[in-house]
Chain A
Amino acid sequence: MNTRNFSRRDVLKLSAAGVAVGALGACATTPGSKGKVVVVGGGWGGATAAKYLRLWSEGSIDVTLVEPSRTFVSCPISNLVLGGSRTIEQLTMGYDGLRAHGVNVVHDTVTAIDAGKRQVRLASGTSLPYDRLIVSPGIESSAEFMYEGIKGMTAADADVIPHAWKAGPQTVLLRRQLEAMADGGTVVLSVPMAPYRCPPGPYERTCQIAHYLKTRKPKSKLIVVDANPQVTSKGPLFTRVWKEDYAGIVEYRPNMAVNEVDVKGRTLVSNLGDRIKGDVLNFIPPQRAANIARDAGLITANNRWCEVDWMTMESIKVPGVHVIGDATLSAPLMPKSGHMANQHGKAAAAAIVELMNGRAPVPPMMANTCYSYIDDRNAIHVASVHRWVPEKKTMEVVAGASGVSGQDRAQWVFEGQYAWGWAQTVWADMLA
């Protein structure tokens, strides 16, 4: 993509001189409309982008959101369904709130993106034109990739060995397996090499499963097989909790990448040949941006992730297409979290509103807070603030503006209350 440096004054001059005039694109729009935006994917990033485009454009940008599912199921908090303190229904919401903002919500699947013609094709056969496209596809959670390179396992086997890394039926399936397991059984949880969706997620899940076992099946064990050399996020806190709260239940094994699954034998096999057998297996496979991003040529890094211009979230490769959420190649120390995807959505919406109004985008700021519940009541967090650094053309954590929970456990009770308040507030920020 041809990128140029402008000062705001330059942009003003250009526009004032009448150099940059004319319609936004070739597409017909409703009278008074500043342009059409199509959003692919109604998760944390896409839903937020759709809502904020409508809010910040004061209804002057036409927004169509394409999402196959009629309901949104939150990944954050879904580990608590495994622990038993929340139900999947509490994490499930509809898209009517977005409709009330004037978002045209279409329940369909985008099968192709034609960036040349600026349109997307839908499974139903129709096409949607756009002036700007926002792609918020998440990680690929179906088909070949998740298990490609994993001997003995295919996507279909996820019905027996769930990943539960996209909240919904997979979460419920894993919960049922835990409920069906006899006391004295062994659960095996496998963590992929970073980067993956939700850095602290596997360790929160460890706590949640351990909490369930401790309270309901105390003779049972949980073996955590981690491809990473150590706990990826909030390490000292999680390690302390496992020692203080879940001794004798949680066994943590770092540096152990699973590359083979014996589905019938309910056994994970590591790259060093270790065989870990369990009664319930939760294999979280390696991840990359979803197929639609790959097919549109948006994946530019390591065959996995989409690089963006953080100023606008626009793809570095495909003009007019903005990529947000877990599918992006993360900026330094930026987590693939729902909270961060929400912030990406706002950054993309802000940039598009400015551009469609003939103004230069403003440098983005993003904040992140990820809570992890260590049982049914207590939570710990990691937080950071990220700013645009023009000389490096990326986002960086502002010096000093990051951290995790303190070691005072009395505070973790409050954090547990804040975490549930956060969930309700951020769901409304996306969908209400």
Chain B
Amino acid sequence: MRTKVYVSGAILGLSTWGSGLTQALAQTDAGQARYVAANCANCHGTAGTARGGMPSLAGQSKERLAESFRAFRDGKRPATVMHQIAKGYTDQQIDAMAEYFASQKAAR
């Protein structure tokens, strides 16, 4: 994987890393999932636990989450906002977010 990324010059001031390359890569990919998933937190809560009657996502099945998201995206499930938001993400991002929320504990 050779994703071109744009890094500030300050990258050279790095801390040491204890873990090996593989672990570092895995961490980065897991990190990527939580960062994209944080797009959802404004309406669906930190780590997918919402308030005020908004739908929580934490702890739902990965398949169901991904399927709902795609249904919004493809116009198969009616929505007020989600049909617009859902068009913003790739299949890979959708699966990563679904996996992230599925792995979160539903609070309350």
What chain B residues lie within 8 Å of A15 (beta carbons)? 14, 17
What chain A residues lie within 8 Å of B31 (beta carbons)? 56, 350, 353-354, 359, 362
User: Which one, A342, A359, A390, A403, contacts B84 given CB within 8 A?
Assistant: A403
What chain A residues lie within 8 Å of B43 (beta carbons)? 369, 418, 421-422, 425-426
What chain A residues lie within 8 Å of B85 (beta carbons)? 367, 369, 383, 385, 401
Report the bound CA distance from A24 to B10 in whole Å: 10
Beyond A350-B31, A418-B54, A428-B46, whether A4 also contacts B39 by CB under 8 A is no
Report the bound CA distance from A363 to B17 in whole Å: 21
What chain A residues lie within 8 Å of B9 (beta carbons)? 1-4, 319
What chain B residues lie within 8 Å of A35 (beta carbons)? 15
> Interface residue count for B (Cβ, 8 Å)?
51
- Chain A nearest CB from B17 CB (Å) reads 5
A365 at the interface (CB under 8 A from B): yes
Report the bound CA distance from A367 to B35 in whole Å: 12
What chain B residues lie within 8 Å of A2 (beta carbons)? 9
What chain A residues lie within 8 Å of B93 (beta carbons)? 365
Report the bound CA distance from A141 to B41 in whole Å: 29
Residue of B7, B35, B86 with most partner-chain A CB within 10 A: B7
User: Which one, A356, A365, A425, contacts B35 given CB within 8 A?
Assistant: A365
Give how many A-B residue pairs fall within 8 Å (CB-CB).
218
What chain A residues lie within 8 Å of B46 (beta carbons)? 51, 55, 428-429, 432
Report the bound CA distance from A420 to B50 in whole Å: 12
- Cβ proximity bits B44-85 to A, threshold 8 Å, 1 near / 0 not: 111000111110000000000000000000000000110111
- Cβ proximity bits B17-37 to A, threshold 8 Å, 1 near / 0 not: 100010011011001101110
Q: Is the CB of A390 within 8 A of B4?
A: yes
Binding site for B on A (CB under 8 A): 1-9, 11-12, 15-16, 19-25, 34-35, 51-52, 55-56, 131, 309, 311-312, 314, 319-320, 339, 342-343, 346-347, 350, 353-367, 369, 381, 383-388, 390, 393, 398-403, 405-406, 411, 414-415, 417-418, 420-426, 428-429, 432
Name 14 extra pairs, CB < 8 A, besides A365-B93, A422-B42. A1-B9, A5-B7, A20-B14, A21-B16, A34-B15, A346-B38, A354-B31, A360-B28, A401-B86, A401-B89, A422-B43, A424-B54, A425-B42, A426-B43
Q: Is the CB of B42 within 8 A of A21?
A: no
Beyond A8-B1, A429-B42, whether A311 also contacts B6 by CB under 8 A is yes
- Chain A nearest CB from B11 CB (Å) reads 6
User: Which one, B6, B25, B35, B83, contacts A350 given CB within 8 A?
Assistant: B35
Nearest residue, chain B, Cβ from A16: B21
Report the bound CA distance from A21 to B10 in whole Å: 12
Q: List 22 A-B contacts (CB under 8 A).
A: A6-B7, A7-B4, A8-B25, A16-B21, A20-B11, A20-B13, A21-B14, A309-B6, A355-B8, A359-B24, A359-B28, A360-B7, A362-B28, A364-B35, A367-B42, A385-B85, A398-B88, A399-B87, A402-B84, A415-B81, A418-B80, A425-B44
What chain A residues lie within 8 Å of B54 (beta carbons)? 418, 421-422, 424-425
What chain B residues lie within 8 Å of A422 (beta carbons)? 42-43, 52, 54
What chain B residues lie within 8 Å of A411 (beta carbons)? 80
Binding site for A on B (CB under 8 A): 1-17, 21, 24-25, 27-28, 31-32, 34-36, 38-46, 50-54, 80-81, 83-89, 93
Beyond A7-B4, A56-B31, A381-B80, whether A401 also contacts B88 by CB under 8 A is yes
Q: Is the CB of B88 within 8 A of A22?
A: no
Q: Is the CB of B11 within 8 A of A6?
A: yes
Report the bound CA distance from A402 to B85 in whole Å: 7
- Chain A nearest CB from B45 CB (Å) reads 5
Report the bound CA distance from A4 to B7 in whole Å: 6
Q: Is the CB of B14 within 8 A of A358?
A: yes
What chain A residues lie within 8 Å of B44 (beta carbons)? 425
User: Which one, B7, B38, B45, contacts A11 given CB within 8 A?
Assistant: B7
- Chain B nearest CB from A96 CB (Å) reads 16
Report the bound CA distance from A8 to B31 in whole Å: 14
Beyond A3-B9, A5-B4, whether A429 also contacts B88 by CB under 8 A is no
Report the bound CA distance from A364 to B41 in whole Å: 15
Nearest residue, chain A, Cβ from B2: A7
Residue of A8, A35, A55, A432 with most partner-chain B CB within 10 A: A8
Nearest residue, chain A, Cβ from B97: A365
Q: Is the CB of B28 within 8 A of A8?
A: yes
Report the bound CA distance from A393 to B12 in whole Å: 21
What chain B residues lie within 8 Å of A311 (beta carbons)? 5-8
- Chain B nearest CB from A405 CB (Å) reads 7
Report the bound CA distance from A344 to B4 in whole Å: 21
Q: Is the CB of A426 within 8 A of B42?
A: yes
Q: Is the CB of B52 within 8 A of A365?
A: no
What chain B residues lie within 8 Å of A11 (beta carbons)? 7, 11
Report the bound CA distance from A395 to B35 in whole Å: 16
